Amino acid sequence: MKNKILTISYVLVFFTSIIFSSCNDYLGVLPKGAKIPTKLADYEAFIRDEYSNQRVDVTQTSILLNDRNLTSSDLSYYPLWKANYMWDESANRVTLNNSDEGCYYISYAAISTCNLIIENAPTATQCTETERNTLIAQAKVLRAMSYFNLVNYYANVYDESSASTKLSVPLISSAVINAPYKQVTIQEIYDDMLKSVEDALVNLPDVSATVLHPNKATAYAFLARCYLQMGKYSNALANAELALQVKSTLFDWTAYYASNKAQIENPNSYVKTVSPMGFNSVENYNFRHGERSYATSERNIPVARAASFEPGDARFASRWKLRTVGSDTYYTSTLTGFFNYGGLTTTEVYLIKAECLARTGKVQEAMDALNAVRIKRILPAVYQPLVTTDAVTALKYIIKTKANELIMTVMPFADTRRWNKEANLARTFTKVVGGTTYSLSPTSHLWTMPFPKGATDNNGNGSITQNVDK
């Protein structure tokens, strides 16, 4: 998609020195060389700016889950990484998180851009009213997606009984420099996300200009994700069905495996094949990068984590291969290109549908939705449909599949926090390192990430209260 979507960066001098200055003396003074956006195309270009506005950095979630392999040098160099990776509840992560931690700053940069579009596009020129409304609606969806990542990273998991009293994250609705803001409750941030996207729906197109631009199906998929996180299963299911009515195609990883079988099955070759998870994937509702926006490989994963994938999983085998380098053994990435770690896909929506059906007593339909995904992943010689009539067993099948399918995204972390509230689904993570057993309990405070110290110490025109003690 890089050859189709240009990465465009604009220096918005006017935000900091002209239009949004608190000093009236500077109003109307245009610095030499500065450009004030006026055309709708100028604002639309911000959505195409993949480095600044389409990245989703949730590094610490993958580290806490041990989905990402860390070397001894990683553990030595990054104390915050070590605290999460080794499940060290004694570590003061508030103090350790003293740098510009990516999830916070990248997410709020994208939110600021969305606010800029929402505030200024109504007066943009060289466009129709429909085009203005479409761009504003798309910015509202992207802003809500960024807030979802933030609230499921820095705040407690949504619980209806406490959501109206527990704090979440700063809700910033203006791009004005030093605009006042409030750290709202968990309920308020979810209400804001839902209202923004539901209001946007009427102005979203059926087909977007690019996969970076949300459309109606993207909004339905996000609403399904959001309602699921809130435990509102009927709403989540209804939106999942609407998204799947628009797009329901699943990528066939068994066919990909067959096409690249010689390379994949050669244990001594680590030549990389091209990622089918990029901009043009048939599964994309919309595309957002992970922590990086340039073509690269996936992160390596630990041997213990690899063991949780199903036998015959062509998706796993196509992405990672066992490797030993010196004293380290891990599964190394075997794909190169782009990866949709931050957007929404048909795979996720099928699995949302499956969980909602299981939770509403429609177990056979839930298993049908789950197996629709699995048959595209498990090699034909190994594949057998999963069968059960028990809702809890069905949920456990869905949980395992979803954690594997959405690895390296925020969802395994967000989902695990949600499942940890339920006694029959909660999980204690364990591992043995150097003869010592480590564990991560479902009630550990490590399941909430601390705000970066830079944000709490320099909180601008508002205040931020840490949601976790350490």
Q: Is residue 431 part of a domain?
A: yes
Q: Is residue 312 part of a domain?
A: no
- CB-based contact 159:141 (threshold 8 Å): no
Q: Is residue 126 part of a domain?
A: yes
Q: Tell me, what CATH number does 400's domain have? A: 1.25.40.390
Digit-coded pLDDT (tens) for 267-285? 999 999 999 999 999 999 9
pLDDT of residue 34: 53
pLDDT of residue 450 exceeding 60: yes
**Left (φ > 0), alpha (ψ -120 to 50) or beta: where does 55 sit?**
beta
pLDDT of residue 342: 98
Digit-coded pLDDT (tens) for 108-144? 999 999 999 999 999 999 999 999 999 999 999 999 9
Range 197-220 average pLDDT: 98
Cα–Cα distance between 52 and 123 in angstroms, integer? Answer: 24
pLDDT of residue 36: 67
Cα–Cα distance between 91 and 98 in angstroms, integer? Answer: 14
Q: Is residue 281 part of a domain?
A: no
Q: Is residue 291 part of a domain?
A: no
* The total number of structural domains that make up the chain: 1
The amino acid at residue 406 is: L
Place of tokens 């995204």: 409
Q: Is residue 186 part of a domain?
A: yes
Q: Is residue 353 part of a domain?
A: yes
Range 262-268 average pLDDT: 94
Q: Which residue from 402, 377, 227 is spatially nearest to 317, judged by alpha carbons?
A: 377
Question: How is residue 405 written in tokens?
Answer: 């399918």
Confidence of residue 246 (pLDDT cuts 50, 70, 90): very high
pLDDT of residue 100: 64
pTM of the predicted model as reported, rounded to 2 decimal places: 0.92
pLDDT of residue 31: 46
Phi, psi values for residue 325, rounded to 5°: -125, 110
| 387: containing domain | 13-251+342-457
- CB-based contact 375:314 (threshold 8 Å): no
pLDDT of residue 239 exceeding 70: yes
Range 2-21 average pLDDT: 35
Q: Is residue 69 part of a domain?
A: yes
